[in-house]
Amino acid sequence: MQETSLLNQLARSLLTGQVNASADPHRPLWHLAPAVGLLNDPNGFIQARGRYHLFYQWNPLACKHGAKFWGHWSSRDLVQWRHEPVALVPSEEYERNGCYSGSAVEQDGRIMLVYTGNVKYQDGNRTAYQCLAREQDDGHYEKLGPVLFLPAGYTGHVRDPKVWQHQGQWYMVLAAQDEAKQGKVLLYRSPDLHQWESLGEIAGSGLNGMGEFGYMWECPDLFRLDDSDVLISCPQGVAPQGERFRNLFQAGYVLGQLDYAKGQFPHGAFEELDLGFEFYAPQTTLAADGRRLMFGWMGLPDEHEASQPTIAHGWIHCMTCPRELTLRDGKLYQLPVAELSALRREPLAWQGIADEAPPLPARSAELHLKPEGPFSLALREAATLSWDGRCLSLERRNWHTGEREQRTWRGELDELRLLLDSSSIEIFINQGAAAMSARYFPGEAATMRLSGTARLGLQHWSLAASVIE
Ligand code: FRU
């Protein structure tokens, strides 16, 4: 479809939908959410010329998945964001069913987007093109077209290029499904972002001792952290194992050493990145100060999306908070970026017995807890976090079935950090050794209440709103 026609539809959708979307009490006060329509994966996360850029999978025309656009926000500090011109509109034949996920790099002082042009056929088949777009002086992106076609031996499910530079060459990891319907991660190399040479499969189901591990590995991301290479990916089709892999699709990582010359990546076991209900398709970038930062999508595809209450207000889904990744004792840690402390207001410190703690504001808040014994935290009557001395459990009402459901973490609990926004909870356990993210849709109650006989210390802040300008 013509670009002007798509942009006209987008404008109309914004003009008619924005008032209703902004009036939603579930709308986040400081998390990134779409003005209207559906948001999914973070894309093209990069810091360039002193600003962070975060692009996102966006269907501005409906609260459903469809032919995705790339929305674009930028920020100096990861706290105050501004809308930038829409970066990609699915107007060309090679992307007619969506400008799917991808990444950004800087080349000759300009941001280059590397993304997937998704094409679906009437018979249910599809193909995919890996495409380039180059930043223009006025903030628009000029499409340079496909640079990589479907490789032989794979189905049409080949997408989500993540590109980085290493020793003067560009490298790309790409999600793929082979003809035996096994999920794989492919590695490519290029001198110029235009010509790509295959270095083969570096990870996936049936490789590196993984056994059967899913029919598709979406959104791979490979980067160096200290003395390891980290591969993040999102396997689909992995069955639950006890308390592990409870969500429909997984988002996790393996640690290893990438042999760039041989195209091999021996690695360790797959670990989930987040033990909550909603976390998927994360993407990282290297900040100028050396930190490895990550955004995730606080949602999952196909998980009763049509029943989410925000659809009544014409929008759905949001990003996680930006998180900093570090490695400790062979494990990935994640914590909210330090910049978010700029949102803190009205500090409160308290200690005593949980049962005697005051009710705490919870609409938009940060809470640090150091418990000595079992306690429970009722989150606006819509979710409960409880610790029984061995197991930390996050329980909520499923918005589709109405049933209670839970996610758990086990270990020695030292401290907890919670970030609450109107309809989301992010929990960081033991300085970020584990995380749990979830959406929830409380009614009016704006406070959370502690209970239990545990002695505990807490710090609480209300968090200021941060509108996207
Ligand atoms: C992950 C994903 C990607 C794809 C995009 C489409 O959520 O399915 O694999 O590129 O979303 O919006």
pLDDT at 378: 97
pLDDT at 456: 97
pLDDT at 22: 96
pLDDT at 444: 82
**CA–CA gap between residue 69 and residue 72 (Å, rounded):** 10
Going by C-alpha positions, the residue among 3, 163, 135 that lies closest to residue 69 is 3
Q: Which atom of ligand 1 is nearest to the CA of 68?
A: 12
Residue with tokens 């209300």: 462
pLDDT at 49: 96
Compute the distance from residue 435 Cα to the ligand 1 centre, in Å.
22
Q: Best mutation site among 39, 40, 317 for ligand 1, i.e. most ligand atoms within 8 A of its Cβ?
A: 40
pLDDT at 467: 84
DSSP 360-420: EE-SSEEEEEEEES-EEEEETTTEEEEE-SSEEEEEEE-TTT--EEEEEEES----EEEEE
Half-sphere exposure of 108 (CA within 13 A, CB side): 6
Q: Best mutation site among 127, 157, 159 for ligand 1, i.e. most ligand atoms within 8 A of its Cβ?
A: 159
**What's the 3-state SS for 266-302?**
CECCCEECCCCCCCEEEEEEECCCCCEEEEEECCCCC
Give the list of residues 6+ apart from residue 126 with CB closer than 8 angstroms, or none. 97, 118, 119, 120, 156, 157
Nearest CA to ligand 1 atom 6: 100
Q: Which atom of ligand 1 is nearest to the CA of 101?
A: 10
Tally of CB atoms within 10 A around 320:
27
Give the list of residues 6+ apart from residue 214 with CB closer than 8 angstroms, or none. 182, 183, 205, 235, 236, 237, 238, 250
Report yes or no on whether pTM surpasses 0.85: yes
Is-catalytic flag, 41? yes
Who lines ligand 1 at CB under 6 A? Answer: 40-41, 57, 68, 100-101, 116, 159-160, 218-219, 280-281, 301
Long-range contacts of 284-287 (CB under 8 A, 24+ apart): 284/45, 284/221, 284/223, 284/232, 284/325, 285/45, 285/46, 285/47, 285/52, 286/47, 286/223, 287/47, 287/52
Going by C-alpha positions, the residue among 371, 365, 255, 290 that lies closest to residue 321 is 365
Compute the distance from residue 41 Cα to the ligand 1 centre, in Å.
7
Compute the distance from residue 115 Cα to the ligand 1 centre, in Å.
11
Q: Which atom of ligand 1 is nearest to the CA of 41?
A: 7
pLDDT at 428: 98
pLDDT at 5: 97
pLDDT at 124: 92
- pLDDT per residue, tens digit, the chain (469 aa), is 899 999 999 999 999 999 999 999 999 999 999 999 999 999 999 999 999 999 999 999 999 999 999 999 999 999 999 999 999 999 999 999 999 999 999 999 999 999 999 999 999 999 999 999 999 999 999 999 999 999 999 999 999 999 999 999 999 999 999 999 999 999 999 999 999 999 999 999 999 999 999 999 999 999 999 999 999 999 999 999 999 999 999 999 999 999 999 999 999 999 999 999 999 999 999 999 999 999 999 999 988 999 999 999 999 999 999 999 999 999 999 999 999 999 999 999 999 999 999 999 999 999 999 999 999 999 998 999 999 999 999 999 999 999 999 999 999 999 999 999 999 999 999 999 999 999 999 998 789 999 999 999 999 999 999 989 9
